[in-house]
Copies of this chain bind each other. A is one copy, B any other.
Amino acid sequence: MIKIVAKNMLKEGHKEKFIKLAEELIEKSRQEAGCISYGLFEDINDDSILTFIEEWEDKKAIEKHNNTEHFKRIIPLLAELRVDKESNLYKEI
């Protein structure tokens, strides 16, 4: 299992639009083979930080995900709404 934590620091006033776009990405990603979980989380101390926390069976499932139509269409649109991003892929110890 691989956990992805993809933290987005949003531009001011873009939170609703980001969430709207993310909803479609979440819904379609959850249907993909190899997707264990996929959610969007808001930092309880700073609502300009929205983070995808995802669990995938393996690297192959992630590579397939990164090549889906919805990923390739929505990710660039999300990128326009943030000032910075930090992404880590994790394996459990």
User: Which residues does A use to contact B, with CB under 8 Å?
Assistant: 2-3, 5, 7, 19, 22, 39-45, 49-51, 53, 88-93
Whether A39 touches B88, Cβ cut-off 8 Å, given contacts A3-B53, A5-B53, A51-B5, is no
Q: How far is the CA of A53 from the CA of B7 in the complex (A)?
A: 14
Q: Is the CB of A42 within 8 A of B91?
A: yes
Q: Is the CB of A44 within 8 A of B93?
A: no
8 contacts between A and B (CB under 8 A): A5-B53, A19-B93, A41-B91, A43-B88, A43-B90, A44-B90, A49-B88, A53-B90
Q: Which residues of B contact A50 (CB under 8 A)?
A: 93
Q: How far is the CA of A45 from the CA of B86 in the complex (A)?
A: 13
